[in-house]
Structures are given as structure tokens and as C-alpha cells.
């Protein structure tokens, strides 16, 4: 049973380091990698086993995530004994998680603790002496996993998911009650319109939870922050000012993407992984051009862009072009006007979304920090952050089932028994987070809500 799903996971520690590896194992491994990987060389098409291919991986919108090495290993000649793909990415947790997301979207299931090893065992890749040890590990893992999951579920997240399930099963109970008890008086309080509105509300809630996944992840792994601005605008002094007060663990990270990460800074609960960039300006210099190209690449993967402007110069033409570029992206950015100590602030037309600082004199830094916090920590979702990819995955499943349901109900032609299929799928997806029995929940709900019976 377990063997038949294709599973995937990040198999290197989720910290910033030179390289991060994702392994996909199972019948569909090759199919999945085909969907997300663009090889530079056409020899990839031959899919030779135990060969390494260079290329890029992409998210579902086709945006490039990273340049990677892909290893193909055909079963049974792999660790698990199944068709296996390993993707060697740059060791950036953000990129790895994004890559995982697109892999899961394409049909893989996130592996459970020890599952690759277990498959290796079940497929005869490990010998019997090793298996006892595995058995022990698995048992231990379960107890640990149980504790972890209980801890995670305690409190508001559990309540939140519980409330969503409650709402959903109310609707299912209505549909099912009208089907299973056609003679009974089921209050017709749920017209299609009412159901639709309630599903929309549910989808809103699920979307909020999904969004909180990013917050949760951000708190855990830090925000990819890119500082941009013209040369000499004061990027380094701002960095130093922030560092003086908030120095976080500094790790010098090798690797191409990581080259640019200079520092990590704590702001409250948040960690900024700061990438400093070459100053941008019109240039003929080839090296500078490359630097500027890189700047744009960083902006592409950034979660926060701090855009520094020199207050003594105001918005230059280059600044304005950059600003227009930023506005088109759906990304968080903050415009910071530096060197306000050198001008008379009243001379400048102020605007709410510009923060005035003097990096040199360390003024205005608190405003900057507060703005960053405001961007990433939203009070309403702080209570129930999703930081676990498995929950995220379940919520995505629930969401896509509800999306299907909405399409069906809008068409006005799909009968109740089929509508219920999508709602049931959504419920079961939510129930995998909390672990409940659908049929029992449903019957309880029907019998407590509707007066039924011969």
C-alpha cells in the first residue's frame, strides 16, 4: 500500500548551506521531474539511469526557482529500490520548500519520517539485521511524531480546523440527509445560494490559513530580504546600523545564490536573511552589468525588498524606473529614504509609504523595523500559523476540492450525490490534519440536526 504512492522530501537539513537535496521515489518520480525540470542538454530526454543532468526547476507558473543538478536512478538500482530522482538545489530553505510545493502539486506525497528507509527495506535493499533497528526507529518516530503532532494541534490551530470541519460537515449533512431520508422533513435552509456563500467563506478561511503557512515558514526560516539602491546610497551603513543592535548568527555561506547573503538580522520574532546587491545604474561596464542582472534575479526570489533612495538626490530617473518595476511585482517592498540628516526634511513632500532614516545617525530605524513586522506578521493569523508542510498540503487538497465543488454548483446541473463527492474529499483532507472518521462525524451531525426517522 505504502509503496504505491510516489513520495518526496527534502533529505538534507533545512538550514542554509551549500546544497539541499530533494528526493522523489516511486512510479511517478520521472513523470514528476519532467513537469518541473528543464534540462540544458537534450541528452536528458534519454533518461539514462545514474546520470546527472544540469538545468532549472520551475514553479507551477513556470517561474524559475533554481539552477539544479538532477540525478535519475531507475529502480531497482536506487536506495529505495524504486525509480528515484534527486534534485540538488542550492541550500536555501525557501527554494527547497518552494520546490517541494510544486513537486507535491504534481502528485507526490510528502514522505513520512523514515519512509525512504522503510521502502528500501520493503524492497529488499536492506538486510534483516538492519530491519530490527528500523523497527525500533519507527516505533520511536511514531511516539515522537505523536507528541509533536499533539503539541502542534493543541490550541488554536486545532480549534480553527475543527471549526472549518464543523461548517463543512453541516453542509454535507444537509445534502446527505436529503438523499438518505427523502421522506423526512429536512429544513430547506440550505439553498444552493446559501451553500455557495458558506463554501466561499470556508475558502476564505482556508486561504488565510494557507497564507499563514508563509508566515509560519518565515518565522521559522527567515525572510529573503534584498537591499537595493543606487551606488553609495548607504546600503552598507544601513546594514551595519541594523547589525549593531540586532546581530544574529552570522554564517558565511558558500554557493552561488548564497554568495550574496551577507547577514542575518533579528527583528522581533523575524529573521531577515539579507542579500546586499550591487548598486544599479546605467552602465557600460560588463562586470557591473552582470551585477545588475543578478540584482534582478535576487528581486525575483526575494520576499522583501528594501529600496534605498538618497534623500539628498531625491528620486532619480533610475530610482523611478526601479520603483515602477517594483510596483508591478506582487512583492513586499519598503522605500527607505536615507541621509535625511543632510537635508531639511520639510522640503520633501512626505508620503506614508516612505520611511526616512539616517543610517549614519541611526534615526528612523524603529519605524523601518515596525513596517517590516507589519508586513509579515498579521495579527489575525498569528494565532494559528501553519508551519507544517503536511498540513499545508492537506489544506491545498481541501481547497482544490472546494474549488471543484464551486464550479459544479455554479453549473447548476450537477446533482447532489456528485456535489457531495467533492465536499467529502475536502472534509477528508481536513480530517487528515485532526484525524477523524468521516462517516461517524456525518451521521452524528445528521441525527443531531435533523429530526429523522420512521
Partner 1 sequence: MNFIDNYQIIVIGGGHSGTEAAYASAKLGMSTLLLTISLDSIGLMPCNPSIGGPAKSHLVFEIDALGGLMGKIADRTSIQKKILNRSKGPAVYALRAQINRFLYSREIIKELENLPNLDIVQGEAKDILTNEKGELIGISLATGLNYGAKSIILATGTYLSSKVIIGDFVKESGPNELSNSKYLASSLHKLGIMTHPFKTGTPPRIHMDSLAIDDMEIQPGDSKDYTFGFEEVGGCLPQVDCYLTHTSEKTKKIIEDNIDKSPLYSGIITGVGPRYCPSIEDKIIRFPEKLSHHLFIEPEGHDVKEVYLQGFSTSLPGDVQIQMVQSIKGLEAAKIMKLGYAIEYEVINATELKLTLESKKVPNLYFAGQINGTSGYEEAAAQGLIAGLNAVLKLKGEEPVILGRSDGYIGVLIDDLVTKGTEEPYRMFTSRAEYRLLLRQSNADRRLTKLGYDIGLISEERYAIFRNKMTSIDLEVERLKDLTVDSTNAIVKEMIIKSNSSDLEQNIKAAALIKRPEISYLDIANIYPPELIISEREAEEVELLIKYEGYIKKQIDQVENFSKGEKKMIPDWLDDYRVIKGLTREAIEKLNEVKPLSIGQASRISGITPADIQVLLIYLEQIKRLETNNVQG
Is the CB of 99 or the CB of 108 nearer to partner 1?
Answer: 108
Q: Least distance in Å: CB of 84 to partner 1?
A: 20
9 close to 100: Cβ distance less than 8 angstroms: yes
- Is residue 360 within 8 A of residue 190, CB to CB? The reply is no
Nearer to partner 1, 179 or 211 (CB): 179
Q: How far apart are CA 247 and CA 241, in angstroms?
A: 10
- CB-nearer residue toward partner 1: 41 or 151: 151
Is residue 180 within 8 Å of 438, Cβ to Cβ? no
Q: At what angle do helices 389-411 and 192-221 cross, to 10 degrees?
A: 160
User: Could you tell me the smallest distance in angstroms from the CB atom of residue 439 to partner 1?
Assistant: 6
- Report how far residue 244's alpha carbon sits from residue 260's, in angstroms, rounded to the nearest whole number: 20
How many Å apart are CA 5 and CA 22, to the nearest integer? 16
Contact criterion met (CB below 8 Å) for 423 and 442: no
Residue 122: CB minimum distance to partner 1, A: 5
| Residue number, 163 or 418, with CB nearest to partner 1 | 418
Q: Say which residue the cell 494557507 belongs to.
A: 210
Q: Which is nearer to partner 1, 131 or 246 (CB)?
A: 131
Q: How far is the CB of 183 from partner 1 (least distance, A)?
A: 7
Q: Which is nearer to partner 1, 142 or 207 (CB)?
A: 142
- DSSP for 23-45? EEESTTHHHHHHHHEEESSGGGG
Triad 23, 93, 400: Cα angle to 5°:
70
Task: Specify whether the CB–CB gap between 171 and 186 falls below 8 A.
Answer: no
* 131 or 266: CB nearest partner 1: 131
Residues within the interface to partner 1 (CB under 8 A): 1-2, 4, 112, 118, 121-122, 124, 128, 131, 134-136, 138-139, 142, 145-146, 176, 178-183, 185, 411, 413-418, 420-421, 435, 437, 439, 442-443, 447, 451-454
CA 33 to chain centre: 19
Element (H, E) at 310: strand 304-310
Q: Are strands 51-58 and 37-39 parallel, antiparallel or unpaired?
A: antiparallel
- Mark residue 222 as left, alpha or beta (left: phi above 0; alpha: psi -120 to 50; beta: remaining): left
**In the numeric block, which cell numbers belong to residue 9?**
522530501
Phi/psi of residue 370, nearest 5 degrees: -60, -40
- Cβ closest to partner 1, residue 253 vs residue 442: 442
Q: Name the residue nearer to partner 1 (CB basis): 134 or 375.
A: 134
Cα separations in angstroms, 197 against 122, 243, 430? 48, 49, 19
Q: Which residue has the cell 516612505?
A: 354
Shortest spacing between CB 421 and partner 1, in angstroms: 7
Q: How far is the CB of 66 from partner 1 (least distance, A)?
A: 32
Cα distances from 408 to residues 2, 161, 195, in angstroms, run 32, 24, 12
Give least dist CB 445 to partner 1, A: 11
In the complex, least distance from residue 274 CB atom to partner 1, rounded to whole angstroms: 41
CA 21 – CA 14 distance, rounded (Å): 10
Nearer to partner 1, 310 or 422 (CB): 422
Q: How far is the CB of 288 from partner 1 (least distance, A)?
A: 55
Smallest Cα–Cα separation from 168: which of 412, 436, 389? 436
Nearest approach in angstroms of CB 428 to partner 1 is 9
Amino acid at each position: 500500500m505504502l509503496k504505491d504512492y510516489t513520495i518526496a522530501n527534502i533529505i538534507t537539513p533545512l538550514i542554509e548551506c551549500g546544497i539541499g537535496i530533494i528526493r522523489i521515489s516511486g512510479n511517478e518520480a520521472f513523470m514528476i521531474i519532467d513537469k518541473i525540470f528543464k534540462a540544458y542538454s537534450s541528452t536528458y530526454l534519454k533518461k539514462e539511469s545514474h546520470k546527472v543532468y544540469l538545468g532549472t526547476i520551475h514553479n507551477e507558473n513556470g517561474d524559475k526557482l533554481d539552477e539544479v543538478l538532477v540525478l535519475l536512478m531507475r529502480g531497482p538500482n536506487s536506495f529505495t529500490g524504486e525509480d528515484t530522482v534527486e534534485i540538488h538545489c542550492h541550500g536555501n530553505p525557501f527554494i527547497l520548500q518552494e520546490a517541494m510545493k510544486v513537486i507535491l502539486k504534481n502528485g507526490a506525497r510528502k514522505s513520512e519520517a523514515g519512509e525512504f528507509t522503510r521502502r528500501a527495506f520493503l524492497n529488499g535493499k536492506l538486510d534483516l539485521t538492519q530491519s530490527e533497528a528500523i523497527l525500533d526507529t519507527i516505533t520511536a518516530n511514531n511516539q515522537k511524531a505523536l507528541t509533536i503532532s499533539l503539541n502542534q494541534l493543541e490550541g488554536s490551530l486545532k480549534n480553527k480546523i475543527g471549526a472549518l470541519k464543523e461548517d463543512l460537515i453541516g453542509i454535507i449533512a444537509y445534502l446527505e440527509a436529503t438523499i438518505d431520508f427523502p421522506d423526512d422533513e429536512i429544513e430547506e435552509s440550505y439553498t444552493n445560494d446559501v451553500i455557495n456563500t458558506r463554501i466561499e467563506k470556508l475558502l476564505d478561511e482556508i486561504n488565510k490559513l494557507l497564507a499563514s503557512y508563509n508566515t509560519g515558514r518565515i518565522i521559522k526560516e527567515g525572510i529573503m530580504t534584498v537591499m537595493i539602491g543606487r551606488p553609495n546610497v548607504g546600503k552598507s551603513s544601513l546594514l551595519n546600523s541594523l547589525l549593531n543592535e540586532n546581530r544574529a548568527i552570522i554564517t558565511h555561506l558558500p554557493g552561488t545564490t548564497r554568495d550574496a547573503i551577507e547577514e542575518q538580522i533579528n527583528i522581533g520574532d523575524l529573521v531577515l536573511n539579507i542579500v546586499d546587491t550591487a548598486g544599479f545604474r546605467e552602465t557600460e561596464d560588463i562586470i557591473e552589468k552582470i551585477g545588475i542582472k543578478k540584482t534582478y534575479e535576487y528581486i525575483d526570489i526575494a520576499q522583501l525588498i528594501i529600496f534605498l533612495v538618497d534623500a539628498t538626490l531625491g528620486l532619480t530617473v533610475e530610482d523611478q524606473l526601479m520603483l515602477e518595476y517594483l510596483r508591478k511585482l506582487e512583492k513586499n517592498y519598503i522605500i527607505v529614504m536615507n541621509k535625511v540628516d543632510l537635508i531639511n526634511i520639510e522640503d520633501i513632500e512626505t508620503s506614508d509609504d516612505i520611511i526616512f532614516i539616517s543610517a549614519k545617525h541611526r534615526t528612523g530605524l524603529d519605524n523601518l523595523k515596525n513596517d517590516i513586522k507589519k508586513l509579515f506578521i498579521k495579527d489575525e493569523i498569528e494565532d494559528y500559523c501553519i508551519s507544517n508542510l503536511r498540513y499545508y498540503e492537506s489544506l491545498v487538497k481541501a481547497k482544490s476540492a472546494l474549488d471543484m465543488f464551486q464550479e459544479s454548483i455554479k453549473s447548476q446541473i450537477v446533482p447532489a450525490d456528485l456535489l457531495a463527492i467533492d465536499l467529502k474529499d475536502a472534509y477528508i483532507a481536513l480530517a487528515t490534519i485532526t484525524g477523524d472518521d468521516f462517516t461517524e462525524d456525518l451521521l452524528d451531525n445528521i441525527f443531531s440536526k435533523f429530526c429523522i426517522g420512521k
